Chain A
Amino acid sequence: MLEKEGKIRIPAGCAISGIFSKSGKRINGENIIKSISIMHDRSNGLGGGFAGYGIYPQYKEYYAFHVFYDTDAAKAECEAFLDRHFDIVDLSKIPTRPHKNITDVPLIWRYFVTPRPTKLASSQLDEKEFVSRCVIKINTHIDGAYVFSSGKNMGVFKAVGFPEDIGEFYRLEDYQAYCWTCHGRYPTNTPGWWGGAHPFAMLDYSIVHNGEISSYDANRRTVEMYGYNCTLLTDTEAITYIFDYLVRKQGLTLTEAANTIAAPFWSTIARLPEEERNRLTYLRNKYSGCLITGPFSILLGFEGGMMALNDRLKLRSMVIGEKDDMAYVASEESAIRLIEPDLDRVWAPKGGEPVIFTLNDGVEI
C-alpha cells in the first residue's frame, strides 16, 4: 500500500522546462522531452509530466477533462456524474504506448465536455466556476477518480516515472502545441503517485514547480476558505488554486498575483517610491494568506501565455532564453542550449520578478 502525504517523509530537486512560441507556431512534444531529459539527474523517477497548449484545435470550444481512474467502479461513478452535468461530445482512452519504465498504469480517459445548459443555468454560476466546482467535487468525493486536466484546448499528461519516459508513454510527438511546460520530479517529503505528479491544472491554468513551499498549510487553509479542496496531496496544488483564486476570481493581473505570492520583503518595499510602496503594501495586507515562502521556481501555463516566477529569495535556479519568436525557460541553461544553441538572449530573472510571455497581438489559436 502506497503511503501518501503526511504518512511518510522522503527527504530529497526537481527540474522544469518550458517552450513558448509568441507567433503561435505549433511544435510537437519532441523538443520539450529532449530539454527535460538533459536534466535527468534532477529527477528521481517518482513523477513527471507535461502541459501542452493549443493541442485540441478541433475541440477548442470544449473543456478537455483528463481523468485517472483506479477502478472501473470509479470510472462508472465519475461518468455518471459527468453525464448529469455535462454534454460529452467525445470520449476515449488517452493514447499511450507500453513503456518498460512506466508501470502501475491507471485507467486514463479523456472527455470533451460542455456544461449542460439547464444545469449551468440552475447553478447560477458562471461557466468556469461551474466547471471548476465539478472538478473539485469529483476529486473530493469520487474515490479513485482524479480529474487532472480540465482546460480548453490544452492538456496535462503526467505519470510516475522519469519525464522523458512519460513523454514517450503519452506519445507527445503526436501533439502540436504553441506552449509546452514540463516537470521532472524529485519528491521532497512525499512519495510519488500519479495524481501527485506535475503539472497541476485547474481550468486552463497549469503549474509546474521546482521547490518545496514552507507556507503550504497557511496557503491550504486560505484557499480552502474560498471553496478549493486540496485533494492531490502536494504543495504545488495549492499554488495552482492560489493563481486561480487571485487571477480568475479576484481579477488581479498576473504581475499583481506574482507580487502577492512572491512579495518583496517589507524592508525592500519601504525603500520604494510611494505609489509602488502602497500597491505592494495593499497586496501583502489584502492577500497575506497567499504569500508563498520557501524555495520555488514555477512555470504557470495559461490560455495564450506562460509565466515564469522564482521565490523572492531565489532559492531555486531558473534561466530564460529567447530566440526570434521563441521563449525558453528551464532550471538549467544547458536544457535550453540543447534545443536552441544559438540564443539571442539568455538571463536569470531576479527572485520574485515575473517573466510573462504571451502570444503576439492578432495571433489566433
Chain B
Amino acid sequence: MKITAGTMDFRELNNAIRNSWDSEVVIDQCYGQRFIGDGMSGRTITINGTPGNALGAYFNGGVIRVNGNAQDAMGDTMNEGVIYVHGNSGDATGYAMRGGRIFVQGSAGYRAGIHMKAYKDKIPTLVIGERAGSFLGEYQAGGYIVVLGIGQEGRLPVSNFPATGMHGGKIFLRSDEEPTGLPNSVLAKEAGDSDMAEISGLIDEFCKEFGVDRDAVTSGKFYVIYPDTANPYKELFVAN
C-alpha cells in the first residue's frame, strides 16, 4: 500500500498500516507521525519525509527504511528486524534495544544506544555513519555500537561522556584520536583483526545500503571500548 500521510493523525496512519494485508508499505509526505511500525513484524515500510518519535519501537522483524531524518527514540526496545535511515537520527536512537539492527547514514543525537542489552542470540547493533552526540552507549549492557566517523577527518566521532555506566557490549569508533573522558569502569584499545571481524558484516551492510565505498570507512584506526570485566560495577553508581 501507498499512503500519503501529510498532517494525518498518527493513530489514523498507524491503523491504516495495521489494517492492511500488504507486506510492502510506502508512506509519503510523512510529517512527525509517531509510533510508526511499532511492534510490527514481517513488513517492509518505506518512509519518505520525517517520521515522528518512537519510530520502530518494539519492532519485531522486517525492514523500515527512512528517506529523510528520524526524530527521537527510534528503535526503542526493538527486538528484531532492521531500520535504515538515509539521513540523521535524533536523541536516544536505539534506546534499550534488545535485538535487530539500526543503520544511520549520518549522525545520531545524544544518548544513542542507551541501555542496549543482549541475551544469547539476541545481539542488537547500531551503526552510525558520521558522529554521535554525548553519552553514546550510556549504561550499555550488550550489543554493538559502531561509529564510522565519515567526514570527521580522523577526529573522535563522539561528544562528551561516552560509555558512562557501560557494563556490557562493545563500542567501535573509527578515529585517529584515542577516546577521552571514559569512566573508570571501561577500557579502550585499538581494535585488532579479531575485533574487526566481529563488525565486518555490519560494515558491509552499511556500505551496501548507503552506497558507500568500503575502503573509505575502514581506513585509519578503530578503537574498541569495552567494560573492564575485572570490576565492571566499580564506582558505577557511587564512589565505593
Residues of A in contact with B (beta carbons under 8 Å apart): 37-39, 41, 265, 267-268, 271, 313-314, 317, 319, 332-335, 337-338, 346, 348, 350-351
Distance of A21 Cα from B6 Cα, bound (Å): 26
Segment of B47-55, B94-102, B223-231 in the binding face: B47-55
9 contacts between A and B (CB under 8 A): A37-B7, A38-B31, A314-B91, A333-B32, A334-B31, A334-B50, A337-B32, A337-B50, A351-B110
Distance of A38 Cα from B5 Cα, bound (Å): 12
Whole-angstrom distance from the CB of A260 to the nearest CB of chain B? 19
Complex interface: chain A residues within 8 A of B91 (CB) = 314, 317, 348
B133 at the binding interface (Cβ < 8 Å): yes
Q: With A265-B160, A333-B69 given, name 7 new contacts (CB 8 A).
A: A41-B34, A314-B133, A332-B53, A332-B71, A337-B49, A338-B31, A346-B69
Whole-angstrom distance from the CB of A351 to the nearest CB of chain B? 7
Q: A317-B72, A334-B50, A338-B7 are in contact. Are A351 and B32 (CB under 8 A)?
A: no
B184 at the binding interface (Cβ < 8 Å): no
Instruction: List B70-85 residues whose CB lies under 8 Å from chain A.
Output: 71-72
Q: Are B53 and A348 in contact (CB under 8 A)?
A: no
B10 at the binding interface (Cβ < 8 Å): yes
Q: A268-B160, A348-B90, A350-B159 are in contact. Are A334 and B71 (CB under 8 A)?
A: yes
B134 at the binding interface (Cβ < 8 Å): yes
Q: Are B134 and A314 in contact (CB under 8 A)?
A: yes
Whole-angstrom distance from the CB of B20 to the nearest CB of chain A? 23
Partner of A335 from B32, B109, B159, B160 at Cβ < 8 Å: B32
Whole-angstrom distance from the CB of B224 to the nearest CB of chain A? 23
Count residues on chain B whose CB falls below 8 Å from chain A CBs.
Answer: 24
Instruction: List B130-153 residues whose CB lies under 8 Å from chain A.
Output: 133-135
Distance of A130 Cα from B230 Cα, bound (Å): 65
Q: Are B32 and A348 in contact (CB under 8 A)?
A: no
Q: A314-B110, A314-B134, A317-B72 are in contact. Are A334 and B32 (CB under 8 A)?
A: yes
Distance of A314 Cα from B180 Cα, bound (Å): 20
Whole-angstrom distance from the CB of B2 to the nearest CB of chain A? 19
Distance of A321 Cα from B134 Cα, bound (Å): 21
Whole-angstrom distance from the CB of A338 to the nearest CB of chain B? 5
Whole-angstrom distance from the CB of A232 to the nearest CB of chain B? 29
Complex interface: chain A residues within 8 A of B71 (CB) = 317, 332-334
Complex interface: chain B residues within 8 A of A37 (CB) = 7
Q: Are A348 and B109 in contact (CB under 8 A)?
A: yes
Distance of A123 Cα from B110 Cα, bound (Å): 50
Q: Closest 4 A-B residue pairs measured CB to CB?
A: A334-B32, A334-B50, A314-B110, A334-B31
Complex interface: chain B residues within 8 A of A334 (CB) = 30-32, 49-50, 52, 71
Complex interface: chain A residues within 8 A of B32 (CB) = 38-39, 332-335, 337-338
Residue of A nearest to B180 (CB): A271
Complex interface: chain B residues within 8 A of A335 (CB) = 32
Most buried by B among A265, A267, A335, A348: A348
Distance of A41 Cα from B13 Cα, bound (Å): 15
Distance of A36 Cα from B235 Cα, bound (Å): 43
Instruction: List B20-45 residues whose CB lies under 8 Å from chain A.
Output: 30-32, 34
Complex interface: chain B residues within 8 A of A333 (CB) = 32, 50, 69, 71, 90
Q: Are B52 and A332 in contact (CB under 8 A)?
A: yes
Q: Are B133 and A350 in contact (CB under 8 A)?
A: yes
Distance of A333 Cα from B71 Cα, bound (Å): 7
Whole-angstrom distance from the CB of B156 to the nearest CB of chain A? 13
Whole-angstrom distance from the CB of B23 to the nearest CB of chain A? 26
Whole-angstrom distance from the CB of B38 to the nearest CB of chain A? 14
Complex interface: chain B residues within 8 A of A41 (CB) = 10, 34
Contact with A along B153-186 (1 / 0, CB 8 A): 0000001100000000000000000001100000
Complex interface: chain B residues within 8 A of A332 (CB) = 32, 50, 52-53, 71-72
Whole-angstrom distance from the CB of A181 to the nearest CB of chain B? 19
Complex interface: chain A residues within 8 A of B181 (CB) = 267, 271
Residue of A nearest to B6 (CB): A338
Whole-angstrom distance from the CB of A340 to the nearest CB of chain B? 12
Residue of A nearest to B109 (CB): A348
